[in-house]
Amino acid sequence: MSTPSLADAPWLTAAATRKVMAALEAGGGPDVARFVGGCVRNSLMGRPVDDVDIATRLEPQAVMAALQAAGLKAVPTGLDHGTVTAVADSQPFEITTLRRDVTTDGRRATVAFTTDWAEDAGRRDFHINALYADSQGRLFDPTGQGLADIAARRVVFVGDAGRRIREDRLRILRFFRFHAWYGAGEPDAAGLAACVEEAGGLAELSAERVSKELLKLLAAPDPVATVEAMAHTGILAHLLPEARTLEDFRAMAAVTGDPVLRLSPLLPAAPEALDAAVRALRLSRREMTRLQVLTGPVLDLETLDDRQVRARVYGEGRPAVKDRLVQALSQKPALRDRFDAFTALVETWAVPRLPVGGREVAALGIQPGPDTGALLKAFEADWVANDFPDAGHLERLTALRGQREG
């Protein structure tokens, strides 16, 4: 069987890509640089390519000089690890010198530069990420197994799985994340066993690295089988020790691809416990707010009506209500039509402004102060409860004043 080629890949033939590769080849000759990693893997699997990474025999300072000689912007993003970012036509390209690990501690590595493509491939995590392509799209498979794993949709560590993990404990999560996105069937047995054996090392990772990898995993088209494998092997308990039953997770994953919503059933339901779990994961304030919204009673799509939806949008905001509707759909997926109708209402309803204020209260002879705020609060509650009427405001304000004074 002939080796495939990426010669017609749009990202490879793009003008910006050609400029960067031409600059590197001018600085080091032919075969001084090859595309590597996700752009090669995804092209072979028919997946979108978001980033174009390049490996090169040139050392970082030579990369900088070659780019600048070609009139391209060069950003020294990680010179100690051999990484320079080139910018061509406003597009970034991460360029990394071929390297081998000298020492590792499970979180970071000290590297030495090399000119050997096979040596560079030998330090990468999985065969499917150790594939290279030259500027003409010709493929190179230094491990001898990358193309076969692509075809079989296998995620297999390069070399000894335990050693790869001890070099960087995050590779445990990457193993599951890549299986969720690119694998088929059961995870590789040797890789899975190594992840279980080395799982205690997950505690050495920063919370930010863990949560970023976990959310990427949960964004996969169908992460359920992978998360179940993590649960059955005890890996999930290392990350989310208070994870609830997977039943709600399966239900949520079936109705949305949003990783934050998919995470919610795996976190504690009690608000205080949830807050502690979210802080432990170092999630963003926005993500924390979204998760907190989902700790209240689940909306019932069967009994919900338009008035209630409008009231919730007014009080909670569109994003929160949309998230709550998705949560409700996960519990009653047969009510998809009602969910769609309510979601359309949330997205299109023009939220009105409170039609009265301090001026109208003052016109009733009430002096500015606590009484003004209390009357406006009572009016707002009545206005919302009556589905935001657009007339009769002064009359209702007067009636409410009378009720309060009576």
91-97 and 53-56: which strand pairing?
parallel
Does 120 lie in the same domain as 3? yes
Q: Do 364 and 318 fall into the same domain?
A: no
C-alpha pair distances (Å), 404 with each of 249, 366, 381: 48, 12, 14
Q: Is residue 183 part of a domain?
A: yes
**Which residue in the block uniquely carries the two structure tokens 């359920």?**
224
Nearest CA to 7 out of 133, 134, 137 is that of: 137
Q: Is residue 282 part of a domain?
A: no
Report the relative pairing of strands 139-140 and 132-133 from DSSP bridges.
antiparallel
Closest to 370 measured CA to CA, from 380, 360, 381, 358:
358
Convert the pLDDT of each residue in 312-360 to its tens digit.
Answer: 999 999 999 999 999 999 999 999 999 999 999 999 999 999 999 988 8
Predicted local confidence at residue 356, as pLDDT: 92
CATH of the domain at 250: 1.10.110.30
Query: Does 52 share its domain with 135?
Result: yes
Q: Is residue 48 part of a domain?
A: yes
CB 220 within 8 A of CB 177: yes
137 & 214 share domain: no
pLDDT per position as a tens digit, 69-126: 999 999 999 888 899 999 999 999 999 999 987 656 545 667 789 999 999 999 999 9
Helix axes 207-218, 224-232, angle to 10 degrees: 130
Indicate if 161 and 209 belong to the same structural domain.
yes
State the Cα–Cα distance between residues 329 and 292, nearest whole angstrom. 18
Pair of tokens at residue 66? 């070659």
In a domain, 269, yes or no: no
Do residues 49 and 148 both lie within one domain?
Answer: yes
What is the C-alpha to C-alpha distance for residues 360 and 339, in angstroms, rounded to an integer? 39
Backbone angles phi, psi at 91, to 5 degrees: -105, 130
The parts of the chain modelled with pLDDT lower than 50 are 106
Identify the bridge partners of residue 133 per DSSP, sorted by sequence position.
Answer: 35, 139
What would the 3-class secondary structure string for the chain be? CCCCECCCCHHHHCHHHHHHHHHHHHHHCCCCEEEECHHHHHHHCCCCCCCCEEEECCCHHHHHHHHHHCCCEEEEEEHHHCEEEEEECCEEEEEEECEEEEEECECCEEEEECCCHHHHHHCCCEHHHCCEECCCCEEECCCCCHHHHHHHCCCCECCCHHHHHHHECCHHHHHHHHHHHHCCCCCCHHHHHHHHHCHHHHHHCCHHHHHHHHHHHHCCCCCHHHHHHHHHCCHHHHHCCCCCCHHHHHHHHHHCCCHHHHHHHHCCCCHHHHHHHHHHHCCCHHHHHHHHHCCCCCCCCCCCCHHHHHHHHHHHCHHHHHHHHHHHHHHCHHHHHHHHHHHHHHHHCCCCCCCCCHHHHHCCCCCCCHHHHHHHHHHHHHHHHCCCCCCCHHHHHHHHHHHHHC
If asked whether residues 140 and 214 sit together in one domain, one would say no
Q: Is the domain of 166 the same as that of 129?
A: no
Boundary (domain end) residue, out of 223, 256, 289: 256
Rounded CA separation 13/20 (Å) = 11
Encoded tokens for 322: 């949309």
With respect to residue 188, please indicate whether it lies within any of the assigned structural domains. yes
Q: Is the CB of residue 352 less than 8 Å from the CB of residue 391?
A: no
Considering the domain architecture, whether residues 148 and 7 belong to the same structural domain is answered as: yes
Q: What are phi and psi of 124, to 5 degrees?
A: -80, 165
- Residue 293 counted as domain residue: no
275 within a domain of the structure (yes/no) = no
Q: Has residue 201 been placed in a domain?
A: yes
d(CA 70, CA 23): 6
Residues 8 and 50 in one domain: yes
Q: What is the pLDDT of residue 105?
A: 57
User: Quick one: tokens of 98?
Assistant: 């071929």
Question: What is the reported pTM?
Answer: 0.89
Instruction: Provide the number of structural domains found in the chain.
Output: 4
**40-44-218 Cα angle (round to 5):** 85
What is the domain range of residue 326?
Answer: 306-348
Burial of 166-192, coded b for 16+ CB within 10 Å and e otherwise, reads: bbbbbbbbbbbbbbbbbbeeebbeebb
Residues 5 and 127 in one domain: yes
Q: What is the CATH number of the domain that holds 40?
A: 3.30.460.10
What per-residue confidence (pLDDT) applies to 315?
96
144 and 6 in a common domain:
yes
Q: How far apart are CA 360 and CA 287, in angstroms?
A: 39
